[in-house]
Amino acid sequence: NLTSRLSGVIKTLRGETRLTESNIQDALREIRLALLEADVALPVVKDFIASIKEKAIGHEVMSSLTPGQALVGVVYQELIAIMGGDKSDLNLATVPPAVILMAGLQGAGKTTSSGKLAKWIMEHKKKKVLLVSCDIYRPAAIHQLELLAQQTGADFFPVKDGQKPGEIGAAALDFARRHHHEVMIVDTAGRLGIDEAMMQEISELEALLKPIETLFVVDAMQGQDAVNTAKAFSDALPLTGVILTKLDGDARGGAALSVKHITGKPIKFAGVAEKLTGLEIFHPDRMASRILGMGDVLGLIEEAQRNADQEEAEKLMKKMKSGKSFDLNDFKAQFQQMHKMGGMSALMDKLPTQFSQAAQNVKVDDKIIHRTVGIINSMTQQERTKPEILKASRKRRIAAGAGVTVQEVNRLLAQFEQAQKMMKMMNKGGISKMMRGLKG
């Protein structure tokens, strides 16, 4: 299965320090199979593997990760990127009513999603919503939407007997304008397969209604077939987004990747239950972990990242401590190093509390780092190693040289004293004791 495949990948690369074309070959084969098993369509898998290869080769491996884990990390990041990176919002910014057109095959979940979306928009966007059904071919379909309207509290457009979809659309638009609906969701008929007449009908509706969102609704369980459906709809209609339904089933999520790849449009929502509350904003990162089915591996990678940060922190602390007579040169070096690691507070997060307390007064941001380094650069070597000789006239000279005020020089010296105190504390506590604290 998937998980064992991925642990296989992780084992095959043990001992390599760099990902190369030859050492990732077997691993890529496993990842390829894993993606196919997750129902990602073959052409999509091919493109994806090619881009992974490009990204992975030459990628340096963190010391606490095996190369296999590193590769899986690359795959994970790339999956997220290819699914759009961040979540994307619904666009309703237009002259009301903002029309949302629902497109997709029969059974994809268009009608259900129309109801869910009405509820979501009323709750999250606080807008007045009208639900409109253009599905005249199945009498039950219009009634199905009417029931959903009742359950959500959205308004429902009353269709007259014998009205054609185009007539319904035009009349509903007029109705929505007169009743001040801000959003109008238009449910359409679907067929069991791609069908000329269906495409024709929905294209005409699109031209008439000029929707701000045309959402392609697709069943995640469709797996590989999702590609063909997505292609047909994306060719016929200017889609703006996708709703991926039935993710609560045992769908492996590969459809998400295929559909995004084919349409180039973001997946905006995921259907995660039959009930009306079962619609969620789509999160690419969650789907990426689902596709890889590798919660454990991701945990490992995060852990390795944390360990790597900790190693850096330990190195820095050792360096800090090694100078028995801690002077302003050390202080400057520390500042620069801390800056590299994301500032003092990031560093202190990795250290035991007694040290972070001592460091609380040493706030580091970019400006302060530059200023601090500038001031220290204006000092002579003697002044840097023996700060106690810094009296008023020297301070004035340094301030003028660094383009700062004497107060700022004083502030820096006060910070330096703080840091010196901290160094003494560490010496007293003993470096090994501190490092034990680090691990805890």
289 within 8 A of 298, measured Cβ to Cβ: yes
Closest CB 41 distance from ligand GDP, rounded Å: 21
- 133 binding Mg ion? (CB under 5 A): no
| 423: Cβ contacts below 8 Å, ≥ 6 apart | 320, 321, 323, 326
Which residue from 420, 320, 401 is spatially nearest to 362, judged by alpha carbons?
420
For ligand GDP, the binding residue among 271, 289, 402, 412 (CB under 6 A) is 271
Q: Which is nearer to ligand GDP, 200 or 277 (CB)?
A: 277
**Cβ atoms of 434 and 355 closer than 8 Å:** yes
d(CA 215, CA 381): 68
Give the 3-state secondary structure of 49-95: HHHHHHHHCCCECCCCCCHHHHHHHHHHHHHHHHCCCCCCCCCCCCC
Rounded to whole angstroms, the Cα distance separating 225 from 246 reads 15
169 assigned to a ligand binding site = no
- For residue 239, give both structure tokens: 């889609």
Q: 118 burial class (0-12, 13-18, 19+ CB within 10 angstroms)?
A: buried
Burial class of residue 389 (count of CB atoms within 10 Å of its CB; 0-12, 13-18, 19+): exposed
Which among 20-28, 44-52, 240-248, 298-306 is the span making contact with ligand GDP, rule CB under 6 A?
240-248
Instruction: Determine which residue in the list 23, 245, 289, 415 makes contact with ligand GDP, applying CB under 6 A.
Output: 245
Helix H or strand E encompassing 280? strand 279-281
x-or-dash string of contact with ligand GDP, 374-393, rule CB under 6 A? --------------------
107 is in an annotated binding site: yes
Footprint of ligand GDP on residues 275-314 (CB under 6 A)? Answer: 278
Task: Output the smallest distance, CB 365 to ligand GDP, in A.
Answer: 46
| Position 106 contacts ligand GDP (CB under 6 A) | yes
Name which position in 67, 165, 169, 190 contacts ligand GDP (CB under 6 A).
190
Taking CB under 6 A as the criterion, the residue among 110, 290, 332, 350 binding ligand GDP is 110
343 annotated to bind ligand:
no
Binding site partner of 349, from Mg ion, ligand GDP, none, Cβ cut-off 5-8 A by kind: none
Angstrom CA distances, 333 to 48, 328, 372, 385, 404, stand at: 43, 9, 11, 13, 20
Pick the binder of ligand GDP from 8, 107, 166, 343 (CB under 6 A).
107
Report if residue 111 touches Mg ion, rule: CB under 5 A.
yes
Q: At what angle do helices 366-377 and 328-340 cross, to 10 degrees?
A: 150
- Which of 286, 394 has the CB closer to ligand GDP? 286
Of the residues 47, 60, 86, 248, which one makes contact with ligand GDP according to CB under 6 A: 248
Shorter beta-carbon distance to Mg ion: residue 110 or 246? 110
Report the residue number, 191 or 411, with the smaller CB distance to Mg ion. 191
User: Cα 7–9–14 angle (5° rounding)?
Assistant: 95
Residues that bind ligand GDP (CB under 6 A): 104, 106-112, 190, 245-246, 248-249, 271-274, 278
Annotated binding-site residues for GTP read 104-111, 187-191, 245-248
